[in-house]
Amino acid sequence: MRSGEVCGAISGAVLVIGLASGQARMEDRAAKKNCYAKTSEFMGRLKAGNQPLTCRQILGCDISNREGHERAIKAGLFKTKCVDMVRKIGGLLEELGY
CA distance 96 to 45: 10
pLDDT of residue 63: 95
pLDDT of residue 4: 78
| Domain assignment present for 16 | yes
| Domain assignment present for 1 | no
Mean pLDDT by 10 residues, the chain (98 residues): 86 96 86 94 95 95 95 97 97 96
The 8-class DSSP code of residue 64 comes to: T
| Domain assignment present for 3 | no
**With b meaning 16 or more CB within 10 Å and e meaning fewer, what string describes 40-51?**
eebbeebeeeeb
In the three-class reduction of DSSP (H, G, I as helix; E, B as strand; rest coil), residue 54 is classed as: strand
Beta bridge partners of 54: 6
| Domain assignment present for 23 | yes
What's the structural domain count of the chain?
1
| Domain assignment present for 44 | yes
Q: Which domain holds residue 16?
A: 8-95
| Domain assignment present for 67 | yes
| Domain assignment present for 71 | yes
pLDDT of residue 25: 85
Q: Is the pTM of this model over 0.85?
A: yes
